[in-house]
Amino acid sequence: MRREGALYTILFAAMVCGVCSVLVSGAAVGLKERQKRNQALERQRKVLAVTGLVGPKERLSANEVQDRFSTNIEPKIVTLQSGEYDEAIDAKAFDQRRAAKDPATSQAAPENKAKVLRLPNHALVYLLKKGDAVDQIVIPIEGKGLWSTLYGYLALDEDTTTIEGITFYEHGETPGLGGEIDNERWKALWRGRKAYDEGWAPSIRIIKGQAGPPDEDPHRVDGLSGATLTGRGVTNLLAFWLGDDGFGRYLARFRERGS
């Protein structure tokens, strides 16, 4: 076959594309398990951060993250409708996001401002233990911001209303605007605020401008400059997951039994 001919060029290009496709597919398959491990490790790191077990500037190796997590954090499966623990499901292997996508393990969510479409039947919470006692409860949160779905964690004190921290591990908000939800100074404003009012209705919200200190203005948090819709999204997703369709029943049960 003549190398300068059109047919040779087409066949050569097709062969190169085929080889590249095989290499890319092989790499994707080969790295899939490593990617899953890295994602799980990053979520453990975020749980440690939101509970204050790792500082903003502290750098831990993978082994250090796993050791600190396993020593201090107890993952538990919760049945959302009843608020009870389900010990029959392995919490370490449970994937809540996958469960929410599967019609067999989830249900359509009621209409909500957070734009959560499906609710898993079970959810994963994390308990920060001090000895045998629960010191903090970490619940997963998600909902629509301006451009993306925000995925993160909210840490509550054992009283189930005092906020210990908030963090997001995945989102696609605009850097410098809505992306400021990752700003450590902004996240520090949440500590000591109250998630619920005196009647146990979700009441924490982001406002335009500045809020007062937690002891004087417990239910409001400073807005993000130029990111009103992202802030509104955070307010909406917190209202949803703190409510009865989210973890409201579980947190009420926790208050009753103290664990």
**pLDDT for residue 83 is more than 70:** yes
DSSP 71-97: HHEEEEEEETTT--B-TTS-TTT--HH
Are 194 and 201 a contacting pair, CB within 8 Å?
Answer: no
CA distances from 180 to 184, 186, 224 (A): 9, 8, 7
| pLDDT the model gives residue 35 | 67
At 145-204, the pLDDT tens digits run 999 999 999 999 999 999 999 999 999 999 999 999 999 999 999 999 999 999 999 999
**pLDDT for residue 31 is more than 90:** no
Q: Is 244 helix (H, G, I), strand (E, B) or coil?
A: coil
At 16-26, the pLDDT tens digits run 666 666 565 55
**Is residue 3 very low, low, confident or very high in pLDDT (cuts 50, 70, 90)?**
low
Helix ranges restricted to H, the chain: 6-50, 62-72, 96-101, 184-188, 228-242, 248-257
Domain for residue 139, yes or no? yes
Are 214 and 193 a contacting pair, CB within 8 Å?
Answer: yes
Domain for residue 25, yes or no? no
**pLDDT for residue 247 is more than 60:** yes
Residue recorded with tokens 């809505």: 178
Euclidean distance between CA atoms 50 and 36, whole angstroms? 21
Average pLDDT of the chain, as a whole number: 91
Domain for residue 244, yes or no? yes
Give the mean model confidence (pLDDT) for residues 37-54: 93
Euclidean distance between CA atoms 42 and 122, whole angstroms? 22
CA distances from 132 to 74, 80, 92, 99, 192 (A): 11, 24, 20, 30, 24
How many domains would you assign to the chain? Answer: 1
| pLDDT the model gives residue 201 | 98
| pLDDT the model gives residue 14 | 66
Domain for residue 199, yes or no? yes
Domain for residue 211, yes or no? yes
Domain for residue 233, yes or no? yes
Domain for residue 7, yes or no? no
Domain for residue 183, yes or no? yes
Are 156 and 162 a contacting pair, CB within 8 Å?
Answer: yes
At 225-245, the pLDDT tens digits run 999 999 999 999 999 999 999
| pLDDT the model gives residue 124 | 98
Are 51 and 104 a contacting pair, CB within 8 Å?
Answer: no
- Domain of residue 134 covers 75-257
- pTM comes to 0.86
| pLDDT the model gives residue 24 | 53
**Is residue 214 very low, low, confident or very high in pLDDT (cuts 50, 70, 90)?**
very high
| pLDDT the model gives residue 174 | 93
Euclidean distance between CA atoms 249 and 242, whole angstroms? 9
